[in-house]
Structure 1
Amino acid sequence: MPFMMNNNYLKILGVLFFWISTIKAQTNSLTGSPYSLFGLGVQTNSNIGRNSALGKGGIALESNYLLNTLNPASFTGIPEKSFLLDIGFLGELNNVSTNDKDENRFSSNFSNLAMGFSINERSGMGISIVPFTDVGYALIGIATNIEGSQDQFISNIIGSGGLNDLSLHYGYRIYDNLSLGMKASFLFGVIDQTENIIFEETFLNIAEENYYNGFRLGFGLQYKIDDQYTLGFTTDFPTSLSGSQDRSVFKSLDFIPTEVEDENDLAIDSFELPLELGFGASARFFNSLTVNLDYKGNLWGFTKQSDDIGDYVDQSIISLGAQYRAKEIGLKYWENIEFRAGFNYDSGYLKVNDQTINNYSVTAGIGFPISIRGGSMINISYATGQRGTVSGILVEEKFNMINVNISLKDIWFRKLKFN
């Protein structure tokens, strides 16, 4: 038994090492949305395991054999002496339409890493890192008139990066049907923006790196009415993310580069995150069909923030999902395959010219068991949807995404028996 415990600790160290090595790549090229220009970027499309295919919902679902980081109370559902690991990858194709042209953009990267384990029969905990916001925009060939002149200069603006959410989850079952959970998150990341200005034979390059970080607390609850119905609740408290900026400016005249400005740790405005409330319900029918319904309300209006071109408003997110599995533990391989589908509507939180930038998506997915009895799965999900509309300065964005998650389950502290 001591040998197995040490072996499991080595697994955790290996996972943490992989985490550290991928944090830097976490926020690069995870979206091509032009709306990631605003605020801290667009809210991430990444999700753990099955949730991506269930309309990005599942507040009332347990972490029984697949992790569910949407509610820390779900970690009490991890079977005793079990260890769960989830690694995800995301690919996204965006089609951006304006009044006069269309453009396609593709991005892909590692999207999430999470692990969870049972502490005892009443509690479980885990760690996860997922993108919190994604930034990936390119504004090429913007022509601007020079004030008081007929001449124009051309600007190319490119942005990338985003914020990560590194969270510690803990759940405790108070009663057989009531579980509480707590989540402590560290949000951090960098948003890069580079602007190249061209006028005749003069070039100006402005590079800004905006750093943000801060802590956030959240709580969760799951109440099991009976074997068929479960309710869930989550809350993430408001917090302020402190920011700083590194800025450098170079110009080139007659192809001779000159440094104009190079400053580090400049003070910039903090970014306020709102109070977020989530409610979820799940129901199971015929021991094979599970349906989940979630509602989230993000109270952005209380932050009293505004972007350069718009205001932040309260946000509502509704998600609906369904999962079918022929048998809970089937003797045949196909009886353990899981089929999933869902829908998500997001009212948006940024209002421009009295119009809120909302979005919706339709999802579908499938879970292939790696083995019949092991509990490990390969989860593949697809989502298609639309954000914004062709109106005024707004653009219409149609997106298609594929999430691939490898969800592994292992059993700890087994005693080997020999006849």
Structure 2
Amino acid sequence: MRVKNTLVKLLVGVAAFLPVAAGAQTSSINAFSPYTMYGIGEQNTPGTLSMRSMGGVGVAMRSTGVVNLLNPAAYSSIPQKSFLFSFGLEGQNYYNSQTVAGESKHTAYNTFNFHDIAFQMPVAKKLGLGFSLTPYSSVGYRTKYYHEYDPSDPVWGNVGRVQYTYQGEGDVTEVKLGLGWEVFKNFSIGVAAQYYWGDIDRNFTMTPTAITGEGTFTSSVGIDTYTISSVKGQVGVQWSPIMNRKRILTIGAAFDIGGDLNPEVTKRIYIGDIYSTSVKNDEMHLPMVLPRQLSTGVYYQTAKWALGVDYVYQNWGDSNTDFEMTGVSGSERTSYKVAYTNTSTFKAGVEYTPSRYDVRSFLKRWSYRAGFRYGYHNQTFNGDRLAQYAVTAGFGIPVKLWAISAIDVGVEYGRRGYNIAERAGLVRQQYFKIAVGFSLFAGAQENGEYWFSRPKYD
């Protein structure tokens, strides 16, 4: 088999990017939110950048130029003797604000990391293989609480102000390998194996101070480490009741099995001898689980337009009824009961390409995208649900005339907790993301290269 120039370039690119991506994934915080204190943290928006720029839709999307990370049935859309590779980077800015005792406080944090590495290739006629490496969820937070000096307290009356510091970081990464098969004309099924791994560290520090500045009190430190290694699965289906040269209408669905991640847990607590009692017992009660997820969608395409609508249901709470208490009771502070809850998310997006094959205007060959996403956070606080939404936009730039390969740019603005934060005393969160994605297609349609074919002459 002849080695293609594009393949060599691709392998060199992957070899260069993988160590950087892997190192970034384990050494930096990918999220900065107090809502990541429990469970597996904040879920990253799935999909390649062109899909995320359309609000995250794509369960029913079939395209020769986009790796579909949401539905393995779409792997069957890859043309014969071709190869599709995708890589994405994403930067985020988090802004958290809260009103405490009538005073407004806020924090900001920037993160930067890779988002996805994926490829799609044919295995046989009407049978395609897909692979992806993506960060599934992220943990990153740092909060402080001060227990003020109270001389009337029978225990704390002999100790000055006490500071509690809670912080954590880590991530869960998903590797997916699947097959998509077009069983009969315009109807495909898919199956994928998903491997999840990662480390999440959570710790707290209690630091007391003497009343008059004299005396010594030992800080107490608790460290919890969760090591995750688990295999799950996904099945999907796509059907195109309308498929002709002018338009394509596709209906799709995917189901993720989900379940308990069964992490290996290491707990260490170092407590100073303060009145021979434990100052803080930081037991975690919310299990680390993945939800059973059902996604459905509709995707409509013409030469100029693409429109998609998705609905995603995640079953977090039915089999996970445990809860955790957080916060401090008192006249000015509230104790919250944190528990899992089932969620529904609605997504909608549109893409417009003025003239894909226009030889005179470069801008008319660009693809312009916009989308919207609305749903709820997967945890409740004293029974209150946190609404969250995001608006997205972006564009795709073809690398040359009639090319499938493209450079994508996308932005996203989102908010969480705005519906109840003021009333319940919770954090109002907003974020801004900017991302760059690269799609490389090799095949007869674009550059005349035929992959995986035996040469006639040596």
TM-score bracket relative to the smaller structure:
0.7 to 0.9
Which of 335, 349, 363 is equivalent to 2:392?
A: 363
Residue in structure 1 matched with residue 410 of structure 2 by the alignment: 381
1:12 offset after TM fit, Å?
5.6
Is contact 1:49-1:86 (8 Å) kept?
Answer: no
Shift of 1:378: 1.1
Q: Which amino acid aligns with 1:243?
A: P
How far the C-alpha of 1:102 sits from its partner, in A, is 1.9
1:363-391, CA deviations, whole angstroms, 9 ceiling, x for partnerless residues? 00111112223321111111111111323
**Cα deviation 1:380-416 (Å, max 9, x = unaligned):** 1111111113232421101111121111112324789
Q: TM-score, normalised by structure 2?
A: 0.81
Aligned to 2:126: 122
Residues 244 and 129 of structure 1, relative CA distance in 2, 3 Å threshold: same
Residue 73 of structure 1 aligns to a residue in which SS?
A: helix
1:153 partner amino acid: V
Equivalent of 2:237, from 185, 206, 221? 221
Query: Does 2:309 correspond to 1:293?
Result: yes
Is residue 272 of structure 2 the alignment partner of residue 246 of structure 1?
Answer: no
> CA–CA distance in 2 between the matches of 1:290 and 1:397?
31
Match of 2:294 in 1: 277
C-alpha distance in 1, partners of 2:384/2:168?
A: 24
Find the aligned partners of 2:54 and 2:263 in 1 and give their Cα distance: 35
Confirm or deny: 8 A CA contact 1:113 1:130 kept in the other structure. Answer: yes
Could you say what secondary structure the match of 1:89 adopts?
strand
Following TM superposition, by how much is the alpha carbon of 1:281 offset from its aligned partner in structure 2, in angstroms?
Answer: 0.1
Residues 392-401 or 10-19, more deviating: 10-19
User: 3-state DSSP class of the match of 1:87?
Assistant: strand
* Residue in structure 1 matched with residue 108 of structure 2 by the alignment: 104
Q: Deviations over 1:276-304 (max 9, x none)?
A: 1111001124x201100000111223222
Structure 1 residue 18 displacement after superposition? 4.8
Q: Which has the higher strand share?
A: 1
Q: 1:406 to 1:359 in 2, by over 3 A?
A: same
Letter aligned with residue 313 of structure 2? G
Alignment of structure 1 residues 12-411 onto 2, 5 Å: 15=14, 18-19=17-18, 22-26=21-25, 28-45=28-45, 47-99=47-99, 100-140=104-144, 142-143=146-147, 148-150=155-157, 151-200=160-209, 201=216, 202-227=218-243, 228-249=248-269, 271-285=288-302, 287-308=303-324, 309-332=337-360, 333-389=362-418, 390=421, 391-411=423-443
| TM-score normalised to structure 1 length | 0.88
User: What is the identity, as a one-letter code, of the residue corresponding to 2:2?
Assistant: F
Q: Does the CA contact (< 8 Å) of 1:243 and 1:270 recur in 2?
A: no
Question: SS at 2:237's partner residue?
Answer: strand
Aligned residue pairs total 405
How large is the Cα RMSD of the aligned pairs? 3.0
SS at 2:166 equivalent = strand
Greater radius of gyration (CA): 2
Structure 1 unaligned runs (5+)? 254-266
Q: Structure 2 CA distance, aligned partners of 1:145 and 1:33?
A: 29
Partner-residue secondary structure (3-state), 2:21: helix
SS in 1 for 2:138: strand
**Match of residue 327 from structure 2:** none
Q: Is the CA contact 2:197–2:228 (under 8 Å) kept in the aligned structure 1?
A: yes
The structural deviation recorded for 1:218 is 0.6
DSSP-derived class of the 1:47 partner: coil
Whether the aligned pair in 1 keeps the contact of 2:286 and 2:323 (CA below 8 Å) is no
Say if 2:46 and 2:70, in contact at 8 Å, map to a contact too: no
Instruction: Note closer, same or farther for the CA distance 1:408–1:8 as it changes in structure 2 (3 Å cut).
Output: closer
Find the residue that maps to 1:303 and give its secondary structure.
Answer: coil
Point out where structure 2 has 5 or more consecutive residues left out of the alignment. 210-215, 274-283, 325-336, 444-450
Q: Distance in 2 between matches of 1:173 and 1:127?
A: 18
Residues of 2 paired with 1:118 and 1:364: CA distance?
Answer: 31
